């Protein structure tokens, strides 16, 4: 497949992912659209271009591992998994319902394809580093990807894990920071400044790259660089827009954890269809 055709298909897929996750959040009347939409293009590239997995065999030993550290973006993960064939898309109608497998945060014992139960922020990188080290010890070739929120980087455990991964030279580990610059309390730089963010990761002995997290050319190029990575863990700082794709949600912290109503959903879907 030519690169232009590949990117066009990924763009089309990302639109469908956005529409589906908004529908499920509206139907549930609860959920986190802002950070799900900001990370949609990253997730789409990982699941439909980069990662090795077998959706009909979720425990396949050679699979790449994906850890959603920002577990509140569960609607994105569920939509990606359903689209990838891990379970029927009809289950997306049951987000946050009693006895549904699709709860507000992902649970590994309920959902095929969810490697780790997440929701308490700051833990995903530690888990991913442990899995990456295990692969090294057992001489497995699979890679480990973890998606972090930028507000999540306020957690001290993130930097303990970053120090550990750098020390262990876990070059099979790729962290991706969804750098939308907004967390539940507002602007990340006003809540607790993260900049200079790239230099922070470099000081912990990571290879780094900053990209536009909505440009598939840049996303795929960064993932190609990860393949060539050696002796250090790799972090992609993806500059994104909270609520990307929906005009009234973009760059609005209030949409961190609020469901659209039916009229707002209709407007959002019409915008995404353009």
Token pair recorded at residue 182: 């907004």
246, pLDDT greater than 70: yes
Mean of the pLDDT values across residues 46-72? 98
| Token couple for 65 | 């591992």
| 80 pLDDT more than 70 | yes
Per residue in 12-31, pLDDT tens? 999 999 999 999 999 999 99
> Does residue 2 register a pLDDT over 80?
no
Work out the pLDDT band at 232, boundaries 50, 70, 90.
very high
Report d(CA 215, CA 229) in Å as an integer: 21
Mean pLDDT rounded to a whole number for the chain: 97
Other Cβ atoms within 10 Å of 91 Cβ, number: 18
Q: How confident is the model at residue 49 (pLDDT cuts 50, 70, 90)?
A: very high
pLDDT band at 274 (very low <50, low <70, confident <90, very high): confident
pLDDT mean over 188-196: 97
Tokens for 218, please give them: 């840049």
Query: Is the pLDDT at 1 greater than 70, yes or no?
Result: no
* Average pLDDT over every residue of 149-166: 98
C-alpha to C-alpha distance for 171 and 229, rounded to whole angstroms: 6
pLDDT one-digit tens code per residue, 36-46: 999 999 999 99
Separation between Cα atoms, residue 12 and residue 19, nearest integer Å:
11
Please state the φ and ψ torsions of residue 183, each to the nearest 5 degrees: -125, 180
Handedness of CA 229, 13, 54, 2 (dihedral sign): negative
Mean pLDDT of 154-171: 98
Per-residue model confidence (pLDDT) at position 4: 87
Mean pLDDT over 143-153 rounds to 98
Query: Model confidence over 101-120: pLDDT tens digits?
Result: 999 999 999 999 999 999 99
Question: What is the structure's pLDDT at 58?
Answer: 97
Q: For domain 3-272, which architecture applies?
A: 3-Layer(aba) Sandwich (3.40)
Question: What is the model's pLDDT at position 34?
Answer: 98
Angle at 258 between CA 255 and CA 260, to 5 degrees: 95
Cα dist. 90→20, 102, 114, 244 in Å? 11, 11, 18, 25
- In angstroms, the CA 25 to CA 249 distance is 14
Q: Which long-range CB contacts under 8 A does 244-248 form with residues at least 24 apart? A: 244/18, 244/37, 244/38, 244/40, 244/41, 244/214, 245/15, 245/18, 245/37, 245/40, 245/271, 245/272, 246/18, 246/22, 246/33, 246/37, 246/271, 246/272, 247/271
């Amino acid at each position: 497949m030519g690169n232009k055709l590949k990117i066009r298909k990924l763009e089309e897929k990302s639109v469908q992912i956005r529409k589906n996750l908004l529908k499920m959040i509206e139907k549930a009347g609860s959920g986190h659209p802002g950070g799900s939409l900001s990370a949609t293009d990253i997730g789409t590239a990982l699941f439909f271009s980069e990662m090795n997995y077998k959706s009909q065999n979720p425990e396949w030993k050679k699979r790449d591992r994906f850890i959603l550290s920002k577990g509140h973006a569960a609607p994105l993960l569920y939509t990606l998994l359903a689209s990838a064939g891990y379970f029927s898309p009809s289950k997306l109608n049951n987000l946050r319902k009693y006895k549904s497998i699709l709860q507000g945060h992902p649970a590994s014992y309920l959902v095929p394809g969810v490697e780790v139960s997440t929701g308490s922020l700051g833990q995903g990188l530690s888990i991913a580093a442990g899995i990456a080290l295990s692969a090294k010890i057992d001489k497995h070739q699979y890679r480990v990807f973890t998606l972090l929120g930028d507000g999540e980087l306020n957690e001290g455990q993130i930097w303990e894990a970053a120090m550990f991964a750098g020390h262990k030279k876990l070059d099979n580990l790729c962290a991706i920071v969804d750098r939308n610059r907004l967390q539940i309390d507002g602007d990340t730089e006003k809540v607790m400044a993260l900049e200079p963010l790239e230099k922070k990761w470099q000081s912990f002995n990571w290879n780094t790259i900053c990209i536009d997290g909505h440009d598939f050319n840049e996303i795929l190029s960064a993932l190609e660089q990860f393949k060539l990575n050696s002796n250090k863990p790799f972090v992609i700082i993806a500059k994104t827009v909270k609520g990307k794709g929906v005009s009234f949600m973009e760059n609005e912290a209030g949409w961190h954890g609020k469901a659209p109503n039916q009229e707002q959903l209709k407007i959002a879907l019409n915008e995404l269809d353009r």
